[in-house]
Each structure stands twice: as structure tokens, then as C-alpha cells.
Structure 1
Amino acid sequence: MSTKWGLTIRGICEFNDKILLLKIRSHSSHDAEKWEIPGGKVKKSEFFDDALKREYAEETGLEIDIKELHAVVRKDYTTCKTKEEIKSIQLVMNVTCDSDVVKISREHDDYGWFSLEEIDKMIADELLTQPAIEAFKN
């Protein structure tokens, strides 16, 4: 069986010199209790900017504006349901929002606004997902 390729879009949102991260739910099969950059999979025939705005609204309740490309990260994983091997290209964009009031979805247990120094410590303590680590190293 051939390997499939997927596209994921994420957005680094800075508000009042802090960056928004979401904590993956504790019972997740991937990266449980780690912190990640908001975003998700791009659906078939969906423009990736539309996907990022949709995912942000679903996961955080925030409306965002996309500014520029921040990083491109690759993450390979195995799907939970079908056990397919997926090679995922993750586009990480810089985004802005007009509020820091977040309403998280059921996909996450918590959220926080963190300084770059706090994020560096989270990386050292292995509390971030691999794509987030790669994005913040750029």
C-alpha cells in the first residue's frame, strides 16, 4: 500500500506579546497533554487559508487574519482508525486576532497565552508537539 500525503495548516497568533497554544486532551491517542499551535487538516478541495480560518474558529472561537508563512514542518503519523501511514506537510502561518478571549473545543483540555521565554522552557521540558517545536525553532 502506498503512503498518503496530507496537508495541515497551523497559525501562530500573537496578542499582547503572548502566543496562543492549545493543550491536547488527555485521552488523545496522539500527543496527549502536549501543547500545540491551533490548526488542523485541510479538507479535499479546500483552500488552506480557508481551512486555517475554519480550524481557528472551531478550536478557539477566534476570527483571524493570515499575515505570512512562518515555517513548513513535516510530521509523519499513523491514523488511529485505519492504521494508514500519513506523511503530513504542515504549513505554519503568522496570524493576528482582535481578542484574547478563547473558547476551546472538545479537542483540547486547556489553552494559554505564552511568552517566547515560556515557550522555550516548554520546549526544554518536552511539553510541545514536534511540529510546534520545529516551528518555534525557525
Structure 2
Amino acid sequence: MATMWGLTVRGICENNGKVLLLKIRSKSSHDAGKWEIPGGKVKKCEYFDDALKREYLEETGLDIDIESLYNVVRNDYTACKTSEEVKSIQLIMKVTCDIDEIKISEEHDGYGWFGWDEVEKMIAEGLLTPAAQKAFNLK
């Protein structure tokens, strides 16, 4: 069977020195209860910047502008619906947004704004998804 490759985009929104993270719902089959950077899969024939704006709006209710590339990571996983092994390339972008009311989707149980020192502590404690840990771990 051929290897499946996927593309995911995530956006790091920083406001007043704090980063927005979403808590994956406790009933999720992947990384339940862990924190992640908002974003998601790019659909077939979709530009990645459009995908990031769509996913951000769906997950947070926020309109974003994409500033720059922050990091690129590979995060392999098993697809829930098909049980296929997927090799995923994740583009991690720096984004800006007007902070209005955040309306999280049903995919998440909560959200929070975390300082960089808090993010480092969360990484050390294993509270972030593997992809988020890789994205932030630039050292």
C-alpha cells in the first residue's frame, strides 16, 4: 500500500506576549485533553493560506492574517476513519488576529492564552500534542 502524505497548517497567534492554544476534547480519539495550536488539514485543491483561515475561523471564531512561516514539522499518525498511516507535513505560521470573543468548536473543551514560559512548562509536562511540542521546540 502506498504511503499517504497529508498537509496540515497551524497558526500561532500571539497577543500581549501570550499564545493562543486550544484544549482537545476529552472524548477525542487523538491526543484527548492535550493542548494544540489552532489549525487543521488542507483539503484537496485548497491553498494552504485559505485552509488556515478556514480552520482558524471554524475552531476559534477569529479572522486571522498570516504574517510569516514559523516552523515546519513532520507529524505521522494513524487516520481514525481508515486506519491508514499518514505522514503529515505541518506548516506552522505566525498569524495576527483582532481578539474578539473566542468561540471554540466542538473539537475542543477549552482555550487559553499562555506565556512562552508557560508553554515551555507545558512541553516539559507533556501537556501539548506531539505536533505542538515539535512546533515550539526550535532548539
Fold shared, TM-score > 0.5 on shorter chain: yes
Question: RMSD in angstroms over aligned alpha carbons?
Answer: 0.7
What does residue range 1-138 of structure 1 map to in structure 2 within 5 Å? Answer: 1-99=1-99, 101-138=101-138
Unaligned runs of 5+ in 2: none
Tell me the distance in 1 between the aligned counterparts of 2:73 and 2:7.
10
2:99 match: secondary structure? coil
TM-score, normalised to structure 2, is: 0.97
Tell me the distance in 2 between the aligned counterparts of 1:20 and 1:100.
13
1:15–1:100: 8 Å Cα contact kept in structure 2? no
Tell me the distance in 2 between the aligned counterparts of 1:100 and 1:13.
13
Q: CA deviation at 1:100?
A: 5.0
2:117 match: secondary structure? helix
TM-score, normalised to structure 1, is: 0.98
1:26–1:109: 8 Å Cα contact kept in structure 2? yes
Q: CA deviation at 1:17?
A: 1.3
Tell me the distance in 2 between the aligned counterparts of 1:17 and 1:134.
20
Tell me the distance in 2 between the aligned counterparts of 1:137 and 1:74.
13
Unaligned runs of 5+ in 1: none
Q: Which moved more, 1:91-100 or 1:60-69?
A: 91-100
1:86 match: secondary structure? strand
The runs of at least 4 aligned residues of structure 1 exceeding 3 Å deviation read none
How many aligned positions are there?
A: 138
- Per-residue CA deviation, residues 30-76 of structure 1 (Å, 9 max, x unaligned), is 10000000000000000000000000000000000000000001011
1:123–1:133: 8 Å Cα contact kept in structure 2? yes
Identity of aligned residues (%): 71
Tell me the distance in 2 between the aligned counterparts of 1:31 and 1:128.
9
Tell me the distance in 2 between the aligned counterparts of 1:131 and 1:78.
14
